[in-house]
Amino acid sequence: MNERTRGGTEPPDDYLEAAIQRLLTEHTAIAEQGLTVTRRDHSLVVCGEVESAQRREEILRLVLERFPHLPVTVDIGLIRTQAPSEVEELR
């Protein structure tokens, strides 16, 4: 699941954008500073990458819980953890 949209139809305002950004950082269960919140048409889009699927689900749940009437799209991926296929030579 990379994208889910839920919520009402009222367009978000600047203060809501800031409130979501602070929720993502300051809520103990999220603590993510690397996610971006942007407005797209009449919804807010939360983008970025996190370390586990559990964290992505928790972000979606808490944003919808705190802002039940807000149209929100969550587009968050998992950061890959494969071994590198290349090295950088520094001479």
Partner 1 sequence: MVIRIAAVGDVHMDRDVLGRFRPALEELPDRADVLLLAGDLTRHGTESEARCVATEFGNLGVPVVAVLGNHDYHCDEVPRVIRVLEDAGIVVLEGTNLVVERDGTRLGIAGAKGFGGGFAGRCASEFGEPEMKAFIRTTQAIADQLGEALREMDCDVRVALTHYAPVPDTLAGEPLEIYPFLGSYLLGQAIDSAPTELALHGHAHAGSERGTTPGGVRVRNVAHPVIKQAYSVFHLHAPQAGRSGKVSAITRSGSS
Binding site for partner 1 (CB under 8 A): 28, 31, 33-34, 36, 48-49, 51-52, 54-55, 79-91
Give least dist CB 43 to partner 1, A: 20
CA torsion, ordered 52, 5, 23, 10, to nearest 10 deg = 180
- Closest to partner 1 by CB, 8 vs 79, is 79
Give least dist CB 8 to partner 1, A: 28
- Closest to partner 1 by CB, 8 vs 25, is 25
Q: CA 37, 6, 52 angle in degrees (round to 5)?
A: 60
Give least dist CB 69 to partner 1, A: 27
Residue that has been written with the tokens 């953890």 in this structure:
81
Query: Are residues 32 and 50 in contact, defined by beta-carbon separation less than 8 angstroms?
Result: yes
| Residue 8 CB partners (closer than 8 Å, separation 6+) | 68, 69, 70, 71
- Closest to partner 1 by CB, 7 vs 21, is 21
